[in-house]
């Protein structure tokens, strides 16, 4: 245990305390103990005469944080509860909601005093820490990895602009089923779902929207307030297909035509995962002829059969050019941070494509998109899909119309 006596500033409540108070702390750099062991530790620290109890543990799984929240909520003394590591980030953000006495943030980016510690700027500006209260609703992005996501920047600013009492956080999740069991409180109203959990999420929901069920992937989960049941949706396909159609038409505000510019086009989807299924389903619905290229041919064949398309091994993609003017949609992580030097198709093969789309947006310009542009193709970045699918998620989370112009304003400099 460590003892600290401080005059300090409480960043959660915005108050400066002038009287010296004694903080007695315990740090566990290996794990987060059971709830019973944490309770016993609090009692031992109280017995020292501490004014404030501080416990810092380590998250081996994001579900570990629920035990800290439980102690935090029921503590009869001023309590600081921190769970270290990227999986424990939510303990630092949601402390104000669950009754934590204060939290910690670094002053300079990159100068970290404990694993997973966010910057003070992010706590106050990105997560709107001073606006959080016990009745704040929690939304978040479930994935692995999640750190490159721009969703918190976009959605927290949008929440604030419309007066929605909510916060959107990133959630590094190893096992989505375990996560949803652990965070079953109605405080957690909805989640975005990204790689690699979109397909597994279908099985974790109590009900699944028919479109998402047809795709076989869920990227948005809403907890129904009346009964707490989890409802799964898919907004990926709308975001992706709308972005591709707009690019083909030279528009950015949606098409008013009844016939899609994708009708009759040969549409090659790279990847047979959740995003690949969404794009393939959307393209087929618009009348395109769909080809699925995947590292594992059997997965490509299964998806192709489901949408009435053709299957292709990814290794054969360079030699596949049945006609010019094809469309290519990369829905895999090939070329994503940190493997930015990779691409699913060689540059010389891109001459057969009139449009190339990449479903992720980190980085915004991948090697694939750069080489496609050099080959003369129209390119569509994952930014456009991200904006499109975010509209639907915002509306699912809040029940309010998405502030579309604000979304684009926030993201324009990204």
- Angle of helix 404-411 relative to helix 382-398, nearest 10 degrees? 140
Domain assignments of the chain as residue spans, ordered by start: 1-134, 135-234+403-414, 237-380
Topology adopted by domain 237-380:
Rossmann fold (3.40.50)
At 364 the pLDDT is: 82
pTM: 0.82
**Catalytically annotated residue among 144, 198, 265, 286:** 198
pLDDT band at 360 (very low <50, low <70, confident <90, very high): confident
pLDDT of 316 > 50? The answer is yes
CA-CA distance, 117 to 105, in Å (whole number)?
Answer: 6
Answer yes or no: same fold for 135-234+403-414 and 237-380: yes
Residue 54 is among the residues annotated as catalytic for this protein? yes
Residue 198 is among the residues annotated as catalytic for this protein? yes
Per residue in 58-86, pLDDT tens? 999 999 999 999 999 999 999 999 999 99
CATH of domain 135-234+403-414: 3.40.50.10860
pLDDT of 110 > 70? The answer is no
**Catalytically annotated residue among 236, 246, 284, 286:** 236
pLDDT of 16 > 60? The answer is no
* CA nearest neighbour of 254 among 67, 77, 391, 92: 391
**Catalytically annotated residue among 27, 160, 213, 285:** 27
**In CATH terms, is domain 1-134 a member of 3.20.20.70?**
yes
Per residue in 217-239, pLDDT tens? 999 999 999 999 999 999 989 89
pLDDT of 7 > 50? The answer is no
At 6 the pLDDT is: 46
**Catalytically annotated residue among 54, 197, 284, 352:** 54
What DSSP letter does each residue of 144-186 carry, written as one string?
Answer: SS-TT--HHHHHHHHHHHHT--EEEEEEE-S-HHHHHHHT-ST
């Amino acid at each position: 245990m460590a003892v600290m006596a401080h005059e300090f500033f409480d960043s959660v409540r915005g108050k400066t305390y002038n009287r010296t108070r004694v903080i007695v702390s315990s740090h566990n750099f290996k794990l987060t103990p059971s709830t019973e062991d944490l309770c016993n530790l609090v009692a031992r620290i109280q017995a020292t005469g501490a004014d404030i109890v501080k416990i810092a543990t380590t998250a081996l799984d994001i579900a570990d944080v629920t035990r800290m929240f439980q102690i935090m909520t029921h503590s009869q003394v001023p309590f600081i509860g921190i769970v270290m590591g990227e999986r424990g980030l939510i303990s630092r953000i949601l402390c104000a909601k669950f009754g934590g006495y204060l939290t910690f943030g670094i002053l300079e980016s990159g100068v970290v005093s404990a694993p997973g510690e966010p910057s003070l700027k992010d706590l106050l500006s990105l997560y709107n820490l001073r606006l959080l209260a016990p009745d704040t609703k929690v939304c978040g992005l479930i994935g692995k990895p999640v750190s490159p996501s721009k969703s918190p920047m976009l959605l927290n600013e949008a929440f604030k602009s419309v007066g929605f009492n909510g916060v959107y956080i990133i959630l590094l999740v190893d096992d989505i089923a375990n996560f949803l069991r652990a965070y079953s409180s109605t405080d957690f109203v909805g989640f975005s779902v990204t790689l690699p959990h979109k397909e597994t999420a279908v099985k974790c929901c109590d009900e699944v929207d028919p479109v998402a069920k047809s795709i076989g992937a869920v990227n948005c989960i809403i907890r129904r307030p009346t009964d707490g049941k989890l409802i799964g949706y898919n907004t990926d396909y709308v975001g992706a297909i709308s972005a591709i159609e707009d690019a083909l038409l030279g528009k950015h505000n949606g098409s008013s035509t009844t016939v899609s510019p994708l009708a009759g086009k040969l549409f090659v989807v790279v990847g047979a995962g959740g995003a690949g299924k969404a794009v393939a389903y959307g393209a087929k619905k618009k009348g395109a002829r769909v080809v699925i290229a995947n590292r594992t041919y059997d997965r490509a064949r299964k998806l192709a059969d489901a949408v009435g398309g053709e299957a292709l091994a990814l290794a054969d993609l360079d030699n596949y050019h049945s006609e010019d003017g094809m469309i290519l949609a990369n829905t895999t992580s090939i070329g994503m941070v940190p493997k930015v030097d990779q691409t699913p198709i060689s540059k010389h093969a891109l001459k057969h494509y009139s449009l190339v789309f990449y479903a992720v947006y980190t980085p915004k310009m991948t090697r694939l998109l750069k080489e496609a542009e050099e080959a003369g193709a129209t390119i569509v970045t994952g930014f456009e899909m991200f904006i499109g699918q975010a509209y639907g998620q915002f509306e699912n989370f809040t029940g309010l119309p998405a502030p579309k112009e604000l979304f684009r304003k926030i993201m324009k400099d990204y």
